[in-house]
Amino acid sequence: MKEKVAVILSGCGVYDGAEIHESVITLLRLDQRGAQVQCFAPNIEQLHVVDHYSGDEMDESRNVLVESARIARGKIKDVRELHVDDFDALILPGGFGAAKNLSDFALSGANCTVQPDVLAAAKAFADAAKPIGLICISPVLAARIFGNGVECTIGNDHDTAAALTQMGAVHRECEVSEIIEDSARKLVSTPAYMLAQSISQAASGINKLVDRVLELVHGG
């Protein structure tokens, strides 16, 4: 039976949305493994818009759901339509959108909150003991989803790891090609572009994460 996996995106582009390489690698690996995938995103305005050529902030507004549809080739739904009973697992790629749109970690650090619709969806998977994969910077959401004591990784960035610890998570350092698993919570995380210097390096850990999430669907 094909696994059904929900993927939550946070826009389109590393500096203000979902990291495109990470998102595509995730979707590709899920397809290679025969999983059925549905993308979701919150129907909200982005924190801001960044010119990915110059790196400068732009004086315009964009919608996270509309921008995420670029990656999903239009096949995307409002995260409010994400019902845990319809899926076996959940994966969140990284990119600054996870820290700017899915949460306010980029502004508030350890005092951050998670966008309510995203938090409700993710907590539903956690409460149902269904596997969750968090990639790159998205593990900053882990403590808000699972509570204190959750084990995860963002690689080895000291400041970000310290913020995770302050939030109640247990940070474990991890190489780009590896994953960290919190077996009790069925949470898998990998650093990806928190450490990766190339798309192939990012893929090495993401592929392992996807594979492990799918294994956990069947009891690991």
CA 5, CA 102: separation in Å to the nearest integer?
19
Distance spanning both ends of the chain, measured CA to CA: 15
| DSSP structural state of residue 45 | B
CA 24, CA 14: separation in Å to the nearest integer?
12
Residues 6+ apart with CB under 8 A from 38: 4, 5, 6, 7, 75, 77, 87
Given 12, 112, 136, 152, the catalytic residue: 136
- Ordered alpha helix ranges (H), the chain: 20-32, 64-71, 97-100, 105-108, 116-127, 142-146, 158-167, 199-217
Q: Which residues pair with 114 in a beta bridge?
A: 103
Active site (annotated) includes residue 136: yes
Q: Which residues are catalytic?
A: 136
